[in-house]
C-alpha cells in the first residue's frame, strides 16, 4: 500500500455544513483513523531493511600521500557513494602488490608506480591507476637531507657520505640516479635502505650523514632541528629534466578483477576518490587536518608538511602522460623494470 492510498483511505467524508453533532463526531473518527494509518505507514517505512553498503577492501600505507583515503572516509564521500571501505594496513609497496595479486584487497590507497608497473608485467591489469600523485620542487615528497652540522650544501657535496634511503628498489634507484647526475658514482658514497619509521631517529643520533627520505619525515627533522633539506623535487629535476615537471611516482590503484567483477562499485569508489582529490587540491589547509592521527605525520608538523598534487587519471594532459611514460621508461634503463610498459594501458578512467 502506498502513502497516497493510505491518505485516500484516511480522508474524512465531507459532512453537512453547520452545527451537526453527528458530522463533527464522524470527522473526529476519521481524523483519528487517519492519524493511526499514517503512523502505521511511517512505522512500516522505518522497518524496511536499508540496503547494505558495498564493501571495498583497501590497502592503506599510513603516510601523507594516502590523504585522499582519509579525506573521503572522514568527510563522508565514500558514504555518499554507498561505499564502506575496509582498511587493511599494509606497510610499503610489496605487501600491497602481493595482496592485489591474490585479491586480498580491491584497491591500494597509494602504490608506487614503478612497483605497480612491475606487478602489471607479472599479472597484466593487477594495478589500474585511478589517480596519480605528482611531486616536484613545489609539491614536495622525496628529498635529500643532511644531519645537523654536516657541511654539504648540495647533492654533489655528498662524496664520502654515509647515506640512508627510503626502502624499496624504486627509492634506491632514484637516489642513485640523482647522485650520479650530480657527478657521484657508486663507491663515492655508501647507501643503505632503512625503514621509514627509523629515519628521524638515526639522523638525530648521527648514524648517517645524509638521507634520501620522504615526507613527513623531512618536515619532522627540520622541526626538531636534527637535519636540513639540501634538495627536493629530485625526480622531476634529475629524471624528467625539469624541477617543475609532474613526477607521477605513486597513486591509487584498483585491481582489474575488482573493476570487472563489480564495475558499478568501482565507479562509485572512484567518484568518492575524485571528490577527495578535488577537496585536497582546493582546500589544502583544511585537508591537512586529516593527516593527524591517521598517518605517520606528527601533530606538531601537520600544518607545515608540504602537500603533493593529486590528479585523477582522466585529468592528465598529453605532457603529463609523456612525463609519466618517461619516468617509467627511465626505470627500464636502470633495470628496475625488466621491460617497457605502456602506462596508458594501466590508467583506469571512469
Do 149 and 295 belong to one domain? Answer: no
| Mean pLDDT estimate for the chain | 87
Residue 47 has pLDDT above 50, yes or no: no
Tell me what percent of the residues of the chain surpass a pLDDT of 90: 73
DSSP string, 300-343: TTTTTS---EEEEGGG--HHHHHHHHHHHHHHHHTTSSSS---G
Average pLDDT of the segment spanning 11-31: 48
Residue 135 and residue 276 in contact, taking contact as beta carbons nearer than 8 Å: no
Nearest 5°: the CA angle 58, 215, 235 is 95
Do 342 and 257 belong to one domain? Answer: yes
| CA–CA separation, 231 and 136 (whole Å) | 11
Q: Report yes or no on 31 lying in a domain.
A: yes
Residue 301 has pLDDT above 50, yes or no: yes
Three cell numbers written together for 36:
493511526
Three cell numbers written together for 137:
620542487
| CA–CA separation, 294 and 27 (whole Å) | 61
* 3-class secondary-structure state, position 163: strand
Do 224 and 316 belong to one domain? Answer: no
Per-residue model confidence (pLDDT) at position 289: 92
- pLDDT tens digits for 210-261? 999 998 899 999 999 999 999 999 999 999 999 999 999 999 999 999 999 9
- pLDDT tens digits for 162-179? 999 998 888 899 999 999
Residue 22 has pLDDT above 70, yes or no: no
Q: Which CATH number goes with the domain that contains 197?
A: 3.40.190.10
Do 249 and 334 belong to one domain? Answer: yes
Q: Report yes or no on 239 lying in a domain.
A: no
Residue with cell string 536499508: 50
Do 150 and 191 belong to one domain? Answer: yes
Do 63 and 115 belong to one domain? Answer: yes
- Pick from 23-32, 72-81, 135-144, 158-167: least confident: 23-32
Do 323 and 341 belong to one domain? Answer: yes
DSSP string, 189-236: SEEEE--GGGHHHHHHHTS-SEEEE-TTHHHHHHHHTSEEEEEE-HHH
Do 25 and 100 belong to one domain? Answer: no
Q: Report yes or no on 237 lying in a domain.
A: no
Q: How far is CA 238 from CA 144, 182, 183, 260, in A?
A: 13, 9, 12, 38
| CA–CA separation, 134 and 277 (whole Å) | 12
- pLDDT tens digits for 66-105? 999 999 999 999 999 999 999 999 988 889 999 999 999 9
Do 130 and 62 belong to one domain? Answer: yes
| Number of domains the chain is built from | 3
Q: First CA to last CA across the chain, in angstroms?
A: 39
Per-residue model confidence (pLDDT) at position 63: 84
Per-residue model confidence (pLDDT) at position 28: 53
pLDDT, greater one: 271 or 91 = 271
**Residue where a domain stops, chosen among 175, 198, 232:** 232
Angle between helices 169-181 and 318-333 (to 10 degrees): 90
**Residue where a domain stops, chosen among 232, 255, 277:** 232
**Residue where a domain stops, chosen among 232, 254, 286:** 232
> Which domain does 164 fall in, by range?
143-232
Residue 3 has pLDDT above 80, yes or no: no
| CA–CA separation, 231 and 213 (whole Å) | 11
Do 123 and 149 belong to one domain? Answer: no
Confidence of residue 14 (pLDDT cuts 50, 70, 90): very low
Three cell numbers written together for 332:
627500464
Do 270 and 148 belong to one domain? Answer: no
Provide the pairing of β-strand 162-165 with 210-213: parallel
Amino acid at each position: 500500500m502506498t502513502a497516497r492510498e493510505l491518505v485516500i483511505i484516511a480522508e474524512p467524508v465531507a459532512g453537512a455544513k453547520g452545527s451537526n453533532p453527528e458530522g463533527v463526531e464522524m470527522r473526529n473518527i476519521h481524523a483519528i483513523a487517519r492519524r493511526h494509518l499514517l503512523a502505521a505507514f511511517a512505522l512500516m517505512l522505518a522497518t524496511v531493511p536499508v540496503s547494505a553498503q558495498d564493501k571495498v577492501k583497501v590497502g592503506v600505507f599510513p603516510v601523507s600521500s594516502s590523504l585522499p583515503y582519509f579525506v573521503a572516509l572522514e568527510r563522508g564521500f565514500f558514504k555518499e557513494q554507498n561505499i564502506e571501505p575496509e582498511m587493511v594496513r599494509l606497510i610499503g609497496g610489496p605487501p600491497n602488490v602481493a595482496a592485489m595479486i591474490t585479491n586480498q584487497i580491491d584497491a591500494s590507497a597509494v602504490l608506487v608506480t614503478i612497483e605497480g608497473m612491475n606487478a602489471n608485467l607479472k599479472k597484466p591489469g593487477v594495478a589500474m591507476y585511478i589517480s596519480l600523485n605528482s611531486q616536484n620542487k613545489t609539491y614536495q615528497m622525496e628529498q635529500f637531507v643532511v644531519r645537523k652540522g654536516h657541511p654539504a650544501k648540495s647533492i654533489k657535496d655528498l662524496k664520502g657520505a654515509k647515506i640512508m634511503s627510503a626502502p624499496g628498489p624504486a627509492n634506491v634507484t632514484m637516489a642513485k640516479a640523482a647522485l650520479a647526475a650530480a657527478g657521484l658514482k657508486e663507491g663515492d658514497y655508501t647507501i643503505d635502505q632503512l625503514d621509514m619509521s627509523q629515519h628521524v631517529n638515526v639522523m638525530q643520533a648521527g648514524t648517517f650523514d645524509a638521507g634520501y627520505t620522504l615526507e613527513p619525515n623531512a618536515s619532522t627533522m627540520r622541526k626538531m632541528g636534527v637535519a636540513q633539506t639540501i634538495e627536493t623535487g629530485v625526480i622531476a629535476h634529475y629524471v624528467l629534466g625539469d624541477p617543475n615537471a609532474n613526477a607521477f611516482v605513486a597513486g591509487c590503484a584498483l585491481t582489474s578483477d575488482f573493476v570487472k567483477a563489480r564495475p558499478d562499485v568501482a565507479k562509485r569508489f572512484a567518484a568518492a576518490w575524485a571528490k577527495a582529490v578535488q577537496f585536497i587540491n582546493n582546500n589544502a589547509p583544511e585537508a591537512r587536518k586529516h593527516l593527524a592521527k591517521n598517518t605517520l605525520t606528527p601533530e606538531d608538523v601537520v600544518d607545515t608538511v608540504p602537500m603533493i598534487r593529486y590528479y585523477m587519471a582522466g585529468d592528465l594532459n598529453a605532457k603529463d602522460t609523456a612525463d609519466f611514460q618517461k619516468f617509467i621508461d627511465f626505470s627500464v634503463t636502470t633495470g628496475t623494470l625488466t621491460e617497457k610498459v605502456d602506462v596508458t594501458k594501466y590508467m583506469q578512467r571512469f
